[in-house]
Amino acid sequence: MRRPTPFRCASAAWRWLAAACLFAASMVGAAPSAAPAAIDIGVLSVLGGEDTRRLWQPLADGLARALPGHSVRLQVLDPDALDAALARRALDFVVTNPGHYLRLEARHGATRIATQTRAESNDPAHTVGSAVVVRADAPLPATLQAVRGQRVAAVAEDAFGGYQLVAHEWLQSGLDAEASAVQRVFTGFPMQRVADAVLAGRADAGILRTCVLEQLERAGRVAPGALLVVGARPDAPATCQSSTPMYPGWAFVALASTPPELGRIVLLALLAQPADAQGSRWSVPADYQRVHEVLRALQVEPYAFLRETRPQALLGRYWYLLAGTLAVLLLGAAYMLHVELLVKRRTAELTRSLRERERLAQQIAQGQEAMDHLSRLSILGELSATLAHELSHPLATIANYAATVRRRASRGDLTPDALALALQDIAQETERATRVIGAIRALARKRVPVRALSDPVALANEAVALFCGLLGQAPSIRVDCAPDSVGLRVPGDPQQIQQVLLNLLKNALDAHRAAGRADAPTTIYIERRADRLAIAVQDQGAPLSEAERARLFEPFYTTRPDGLGLGLSICRGIAETHGGALQARPADATGGPGMVFELLLPLALPTASALPAPKETTP
């Protein structure tokens, strides 16, 4: 004899406890003179109206006996009629299969208070399954997947044990019944119609709830052995055959409108009921999570919303938008291809243009370098006469000393002291000539621009010294340095800055000679202006008209008959290359003599790392 499992012992304890509570409730319950309260229980019809009533009427009678103060009315309803009764709040409780219960839970807020179990398993979590049947005279498929392409009859698409469990097994093995993998034939309730369809040849196979085939055979509705179960599982109930795993049994459901006290006493009476003729009884509510997984995989209610986001559903609903989007994408792709071809073509043209621009820039740079060099040579050319005179003095002195030493040596009266003095004078004159020639070579040679921080005051003094050294008679040049400009530094090429100052000093000297004031002084002012340094050269020559000042920096424009007109143009280019500017204005706003040429240069930042790098320039 098989020993009772702990679950069976727990169920027996529940039933004894329910009986005791029910007896206490009935003794303290309604007064004898009170009218019986009606309890309406709806039952989902799966076998047929009368068959379903005969199946569940013992339950209603048992509850009526356990609740003497109440009358229990049983209503056998199909799914649509059951939903309509719930909408009218005409029912207090519902007895239905697991899949339909989840629909009621989602639609009407129903709550299971008990789960049916059978004597064969005595486990409410493994009670309901599906059996796929075929005629005995037809070939018996080895598995559920072997019915692919055949006509399969079922009660309805939303029948849990009559279709959904088998559909879930098909789906798990990659067989999608909705995608025409099988030919579905829905007969509607009761399940007797499914068996009749298979026996009559209107379907090759049919789906019945587990144990329904055995019930139909016992009732004489189906001849024993006329239908065979496909893929019978060894874990099915002892007296039944199943093609699918077993799931939680039917649920006894309380509705949201059911009074809690009524639900409590009905639950107690339900748990105290003995097993019915089929060996079924009611137990504590089972976990319906596996039922949720089946319905979620099938994407049926209460998970029907998942169908709305499936690719097939979206395609059917928004095909015109998808078609329009595809058309736009194709047009966009064609347009992008066209644009890409144009971009490649334009890129090639731009590359050629850039190369041509670089070539022209190199030519311009070479021309600018040549002009810059020409400007320096022009200064030397204009000062060549003076330069020759300046060099003639040390050379004549050296020659005189050499002749004197030679004569005195021939007479024999050359003393050591006289010889040392002559040699000292010769060395000084040689050094003087060397300095003049070195300055000329530095100014005349071509060189690569350098970047350095220079003292503007020292640059101005060096330019004055070099300019005066090139002249036989040095003009009067004064450097006036403001106190706030001492110690400042300007970034750039020192020699190019000196070249600008030499040009400005040469122009000042020419202006003095043209005005008949060759001995007039020239002044260089150095002062700070915010983040710039101004080096201004002021002459005493004749003032220029507004029209002449407007064209002063144009290439090849000059006010001198023998001038080239390139000096000031080149000087402005050097100033702008260093990030500065070169400006000209009258020295006296009232129309007096003189012009002021002002070179503006950016000041160096406090740290060397933050110095603004000067642009690459031509020498």
| Residue 96's CATH number | 3.40.190.10
More reliable by pLDDT, 400 or 111: 111
Query: Of 4, 43, 9, whose CA–CA distance to 283 is shortest?
Result: 9
- 14: confidence class by pLDDT, cuts 50, 70, 90: very low
Please answer whether residues 95 and 228 qualify as being in contact, where contact means their C-beta atoms are separated by less than 8 angstroms: no
Q: Are residues 531 and 412 both part of a single domain?
A: no
Q: Are residues 341 and 194 both part of a single domain?
A: no
pLDDT value at 317 more than 50: yes
Mean pLDDT of the chain: 81
Q: Where is 522: in which H helix or E strand?
A: strand 522-529
In this structure, the strands spanning 532-538 and 595-602 are antiparallel
pLDDT at 264: 93
Rounded Cα distance between 574 and 14, Å, is 106
pLDDT value at 164 more than 90: yes
Q: Are residues 86 and 103 both part of a single domain?
A: yes
Give the start-end residues of each E strand in 155-293. 183-186, 205-209, 227-229, 251-254, 281-283
pLDDT value at 69 more than 70: yes
- The angle at the Cα of 37, spanning 36 to 38, to the nearest 5 degrees, equals 115
Structure tokens at 422: 């002559």
Q: Are residues 473 and 440 both part of a single domain?
A: no
Please answer whether residues 192 and 218 qualify as being in contact, where contact means their C-beta atoms are separated by less than 8 angstroms: no
Query: Of 482, 252, 465, 493, whose CA–CA distance to 369 is shortest?
Result: 493
Lowest mean pLDDT among 16-25, 78-87, 202-211, 586-595: 16-25
Q: Are residues 490 and 616 both part of a single domain?
A: yes
More reliable by pLDDT, 347 or 238: 347
pLDDT value at 162 more than 60: yes
Q: How many CB atoms lie within 10 A of CB 177?
A: 20
Strand order in the sheet with 522-529: 477-481, 522-529, 532-538, 595-602, 581-586
- 377: confidence class by pLDDT, cuts 50, 70, 90: low
pLDDT value at 432 more than 90: no
Q: How many CB atoms lie within 10 A of CB 378?
A: 18
359-370 per-position pLDDT tens digit:
888 887 777 666
pLDDT value at 550 more than 60: yes
Residue 522 lies in a domain: yes
Q: Note down the domain range covering 588.
A: 450-619
Q: Are residues 87 and 103 both part of a single domain?
A: yes
Residue 423 lies in a domain: yes
- The angle at the Cα of 444, spanning 568 to 516, to the nearest 5 degrees, equals 50
Residue 369 lies in a domain: no
CA dist list (Å): 282 to 56, 114, 318, 444: 13, 6, 48, 117
Rounded Cα distance between 559 and 548, Å, is 8
Rounded Cα distance between 96 and 101, Å, is 6
- 6: confidence class by pLDDT, cuts 50, 70, 90: very low
Rounded Cα distance between 566 and 568, Å, is 6
More reliable by pLDDT, 65 or 372: 65
Residue 479 lies in a domain: yes
Both ends of the chain: CA-CA distance in Å? 117
Residue 304 lies in a domain: no
Most confident listed range (196-205, 375-384, 468-477, 510-519)? 196-205
Residue 187 lies in a domain: yes
pLDDT value at 612 more than 80: no
pLDDT value at 469 more than 80: no
Q: Are residues 454 and 440 both part of a single domain?
A: no
More reliable by pLDDT, 485 or 67: 67
Residues comprising the chain, all counted:
619
DSSP 444: H
Residue type, 439: A
Structure tokens at 580: 């500065």
Rounded Cα distance between 583 and 572, Å, is 8
Q: Are residues 577 and 542 both part of a single domain?
A: yes
pLDDT value at 501 more than 80: yes
Give Cβ neighbours of residue 99 (< 8 Å, ≥ 6 apart).
158, 159, 160, 161, 164, 291, 294, 295, 300
Q: Are residues 210 and 277 both part of a single domain?
A: no
**Cis check: omega of the bond before 259, within 30 degrees of 0:** no
Q: Are residues 105 and 136 both part of a single domain?
A: no
Lowest mean pLDDT among 127-141, 357-371, 487-501: 357-371
DSSP 247: B
Q: How many CB atoms lie within 10 A of CB 278?
A: 16
Residue 308 lies in a domain: no
Q: Are residues 475 and 613 both part of a single domain?
A: yes
**Taking residues 505-526, what's their average pLDDT?**
88
> How many distinct structural domains can be found in the chain?
5
Lowest mean pLDDT among 192-196, 206-210, 500-504, 595-599: 500-504
Q: Are residues 201 and 256 both part of a single domain?
A: no
pLDDT at 2: 35
Q: How many CB atoms lie within 10 A of CB 88?
A: 8
Residue 296 lies in a domain: no
More reliable by pLDDT, 58 or 181: 58
pLDDT at 238: 77
Q: Where is 597: in which H helix or E strand?
A: strand 595-602
